[in-house]
Amino acid sequence: QVTLKESGPGMLQPSKTLSLTCSFSGFSLSTSGMVVSWIRQPSGKSLEWLAAIDWDGDKYYNPSLKSRLTVSKDTSNTQVFLKITSVDIADTATYYCARTLNYWGQGVMVTVSS
């Protein structure tokens, strides 16, 4: 059974760095073809793809946010991380990790506020 779960700080101040973790089970990111993505959704709005990392360690970023994003994975291939630097109010959203598009985590809400 494939499951993913995001975790994060809940709330942080503007200009800080947001660190998110996606913990998953039921598959290994070392398996050929596997990709885990980060996608976010401001309340009441549509979805925005942020970044992805694949089984080979290749990383992909949304060009509009690339300078602020870092995606990585752990050596056991059971966790994926996302860091967003210099956050501001516009980064307030629910953040999802997803394996391709057919398995999604429950999402973690992040609020940026002073």
Residues lying near other proteins in the complex (CB under 8 A): 37, 46-49, 60-64, 96, 101-102, 104-107
Minimum distance from residue 44 beta carbon to other proteins (Å): 10
Strands 108-112 and 11-12: parallel
Cβ-based nearer residue to other proteins, 16 or 92: 92
Sheet (strand 79-84) strand order:
3-7, 18-25, 79-84, 69-73
Q: Nearest distance from residue 108's CB to other proteins, in Å?
A: 11
Gap between the Cα atoms of 11 and 42, Å rounded:
14
Minimum separation from the CB atom of position 9 to other proteins (A): 20
